[in-house]
Structure 1
Amino acid sequence: MEVREAVEADAGRLATLADAPADTMRNLVHDRTVRVAEDAGEIVGFVSFDAKRDAVHVTQFDGTSETAARLLDEPARFARSEGMAAEVLVEESRSELQRAATAAGFERAGPGPRFEGAPTIKYRLEPPVER
């Protein structure tokens, strides 16, 4: 599996993975940091994130548990290098993405907000402790 930066041409495949309009995913590629995972030349997962003042926020991600965990390493690595926390919300119904968050080092931090009526769980990766 290879992880690379997303480009505009990836929007159609990202839309299929995220069950979202292609225009929405095209905007995501332009407005956020987006990484895609490819296996045999096909996109099999993605993660989008951005840094706010207090933390790196994962805005969307999808893929198998293994693929999603590998992709979550991208915002986690950025957060660690900047001395920031990282956060991700996962729908309660998406157990494979919950496993991915845990595998990537995120810890369950309680309930998150509802997203389009679906309950979410908040996961957080604390910043490195300075010595």
Structure 2
Amino acid sequence: MRIRDALESDAEALADVTGRPADVLVDTIHDRTVRVALDGDGDRDGDHDGDGNRGTEGGFDATDGLDGFVAFDVRKGSVHVTDLAGTPSALERLVEEPKRFAKREGMDVEAVLVDGEERRADALENAGFTATGPGPRFEGRATTRFRLERDE
């Protein structure tokens, strides 16, 4: 698996896996730091079983060699994870990107997840984040705020 900066050309694949319009993802790529995880096992189409379809893994529709992505930005002195999606192994790798940036800059990291997103919550908790309480409602759904304090 390889992690790299997202490009405008990734917007269609990101749109496919998020259900958002591609132009919204282009804006995200321009406005935030976005990293993508790519299938790096040498399987050019990433189908693993040879049927031409990468299928889903853990609820993430892995497509076009894309195993996941993370988007984050800085607001009010903290790094905010604004999007996190991927296969379980990609989530583990991707969550390290905002952590690394925050450590370099001496900042905390925050994320808000819709309640019930267990894979994402597990990835955050395994990376040292703690649930700090309820977050803002998102499209009428309850959320939980996660935080990773900077090392003093």
Query: What's the TM-score once normalised by structure 2's chain length?
Result: 0.81
Q: Is contact 1:65-1:99 (8 Å) kept?
A: no
Q: What's 2:74 paired with?
A: 51
Question: How large is the Cα RMSD of the aligned pairs?
Answer: 1.1
Equivalences for residues 32-71 of structure 1 within 5 A:
32-40=32-40, 42-71=65-94
Q: Percent identity?
A: 45
Instruction: Report runs of 4+ in structure 1 exceeding 3 Å deviation.
Output: none
Aligned length: 129
One-letter code of the match for 1:122? R
One-letter code of the match for 2:16? T
**Shift of the alpha carbon at 1:65?**
2.8
Deviation track 1:17-59 (CA, whole Å, cap 9, x = no partner) reads 2121111101100110000000146011000000123200011
One-letter code of the match for 1:37? A
Q: Is contact 1:66-1:100 (8 Å) kept?
A: no
One-letter code of the match for 1:38? L
Which has the higher Rg, Structure 1 or Structure 2? 2
Q: Is contact 1:70-1:104 (8 Å) kept?
A: no
Q: Is contact 1:34-1:46 (8 Å) kept?
A: yes
Q: What's 1:127 paired with?
A: 150
One-letter code of the match for 2:121? Q
**Shift of the alpha carbon at 1:128?**
1.0
Partners of 2:117 and 2:146 in 1: how far apart? 13
- More helix per residue: 1 or 2? 1
**Shift of the alpha carbon at 1:69?**
2.3
Partner secondary structure for residue 116 of structure 1: coil
